[in-house]
């Protein structure tokens, strides 16, 4: 677990990145206080603030993960440098676009805006693919604390999936494509809202749509698995419990993406979504409360069977509805 001794072994490149992101957060907070402009329905400096907070958390989390991989020097160096460079570049672009009074994401209204948006997408994809090497290292690394080991392995894997889910937002919507065909220009390519245009009424703090599907919900949940699952090890010291919780968390991530793609708001789940949530909750409780008979033998022979049962439950529940469904993109 995290101690002062562990903190002293944090990667200095990632600590420096976190410090720079804290400075960027300070700039964003000042912007929120003095800049009254609204961009896409939200304060101009809200997105820079949220991204700064997210990058601080991820940088420190990754620095902690690296302390568990002492023998993977080259992997740590490559991922630390790539993460530092990409995060600094991304925050610079987001802050610059806020200062210019325009959006940073999905903005292709001018050649400059299009290049900046595409560059951010390519950079974060490069960083995400590079982080796969960390997940591989975690699965190959032996842990004295097996519960923590599995929390880190599953947390990193789901975080990568969460990052990749951002690609779902970059597809032009039906409304955008229709406008482009009519005007022969495209100002916006992609959206996080499904079923309406971005910028509608949102939940306080997050801005997640209150009336339509929002891909940012699942994206957020997936990205922060690397923090949430290890925190569970403070309460759950058994490997089987952590694996089951991780698999259920993965199912929740997929459920939220599925809900958003159906154009359904987080706070207004339909009967089908509510039924799936109930099934997943019951399945998770059953797996977690199953008596640990011959647990040591089970752990040696089938270390992922408990997690797999939860994950397969989620997939089996969602699969019949995913195949025939045509996901809605664009305005109604």
Residue 309: the pLDDT is: 45
Residue 325: the pLDDT is: 39
CB hemisphere CA count around 272 (13 angstroms): 12
pTM for this structure?
Answer: 0.84
Q: Which of 174, 171, 176, 175 is nearest to 192 (CA)?
A: 171
User: What is the radius of gyration, based on Cα positions, of the chain?
Assistant: 21
- Where does residue 236 rank: exposed (0-12), middle (13-18), buried (19+ CB within 10 A)? middle
| Alpha-carbon span 30 to 61, nearest angstrom | 26
Domain positions in the chain: 1-141
Tens of pLDDT, residue by residue, the chain (332 residues): 556 566 678 889 999 999 999 999 999 999 999 999 999 888 999 999 999 999 999 999 999 999 999 999 999 999 999 999 999 999 999 999 999 999 999 999 999 999 999 999 999 999 999 999 999 999 999 999 899 999 999 999 999 999 999 999 999 998 899 999 999 899 999 999 999 888 888 898 888 999 999 999 999 999 999 999 999 888 777 888 899 999 999 999 999 999 999 999 999 999 999 999 999 999 888 887 775 544 444 444 444 444 444 444 444 444 444 444 344 454 43
Residue 289: the pLDDT is: 76
pLDDT tens digits along 194-213 = 998 888 888 988 889 999 99
Residue 1: the pLDDT is: 54
Phi and psi for 190 in degrees, rounded to 5?
Answer: 110, 165
Residue 54: the pLDDT is: 95
């Amino acid at each position: 677990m995290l101690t002062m001794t562990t903190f002293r072994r944090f990667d200095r490149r990632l600590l420096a990145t976190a410090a720079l992101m804290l400075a960027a957060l300070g700039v964003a907070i000042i912007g929120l206080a003095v800049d009254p402009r609204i961009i896409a329905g939200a304060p101009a400096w809200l997105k820079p603030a949220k991204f700064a907070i997210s990058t601080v958390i991820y940088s420190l989390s990754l620095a902690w993960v690296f302390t568990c991989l002492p023998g993977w020097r080259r992997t740590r160096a490559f991922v630390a440098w790539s993460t530092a460079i990409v995060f600094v570049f991304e925050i610079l672009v987001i802050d610059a676009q806020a200062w210019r009074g325009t959006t940073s994401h999905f903005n292709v209204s001018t050649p400059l805006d299009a290049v900046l948006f595409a560059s951010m997408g390519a950079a974060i994809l490069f960083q995400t693919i590079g982080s796969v090497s960390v997940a591989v290292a975690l699965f190959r690394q032996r842990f004295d604390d097996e519960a923590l080991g599995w929390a880190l392995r599953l947390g990193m894997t789901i975080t990568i999936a969460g990052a990749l889910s951002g690609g779902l937002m970059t597809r032009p919507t039906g409304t955008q494509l229709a406008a482009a065909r009519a005007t022969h220009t495209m100002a916006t390519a992609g959206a996080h809202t499904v079923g309406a245009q971005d910028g509608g009424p949102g939940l306080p703090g997050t801005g997640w749509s209150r009336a339509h599907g929002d891909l940012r919900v699942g994206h957020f949940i997936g990205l922060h698995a690397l923090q949430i699952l290890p925190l569970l090890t403070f309460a759950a010291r058994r490997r089987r419990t952590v694996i089951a919780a991780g698999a259920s968390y993965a199912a929740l991530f997929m459920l939220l993406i599925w809900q958003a793609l159906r154009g359904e708001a987080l706070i207004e789940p339909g009967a089908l979504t509510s039924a799936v949530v109930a099934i997943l909750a019951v399945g998770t409780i059953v797996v977690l409360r199953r008596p640990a008979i011959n647990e040591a033998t089970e752990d040696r022979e089938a270390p992922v069977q408990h997690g797999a049962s939860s994950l397969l439950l989620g997939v089996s529940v969602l699969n019949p509805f995913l195949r025939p469904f045509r996901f809605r993109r664009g305005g109604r």
